[in-house]
Amino acid sequence: MLLAGASSAVASSATAAQVEMSEASLIYATAFAVLLVAYLTAVSSKDLIRLLISLEMMFGAVFLALIPLFSLPAMQSTAFAILILTIFVSSSELLILIAAITIFDRRKRSIDAELVSEGGDKV
C-alpha cells in the first residue's frame, strides 16, 4: 500500500514536470517566433519608427524567454537579476533611440532609413 502511494506520487510529479516542460517549450517557441518577426521587420524597415518597434519586439522576446526561469526555485534570483538588467538596458535604449529619431527628424525633415549615413559619410 505504501509503495503504491509512493509510485503514484512519483508519477504525478513526473506528469507535472512534463506539463511544466511543455509550457516552457511553448513559451520559448513563442519568444523565438516574436524574435524572428522582429529581425525580419528590422531588416526590411523603411523608416526609423518601424526599426524602433522591431527593436522593442526583440526586447519583448527576451522578456518572454525569461518567464520559465522564474518557475525554477534555484533560478529565481538569477532570473530577477537578468530581468532588472534587461529592463534598464531596454529603457535606456528606448530613450536614446527616441532622442536620435527626434534629432534626425529635425535635421533631415524625414525619418526614412535610406537617409541614414554610416559614420557621418555622405551617401
Domain ranges for the chain? 2-115
Domain 2-115 has CATH 1.10.287.3510: yes
What is the greatest pairwise CA distance in the chain? 82
Cα dihedral 85→89→94→99 (10° resolution):
140
What's the pLDDT tens digit per position in 48-77?
778 888 888 888 888 888 888 888 788 888
pTM score:
0.65
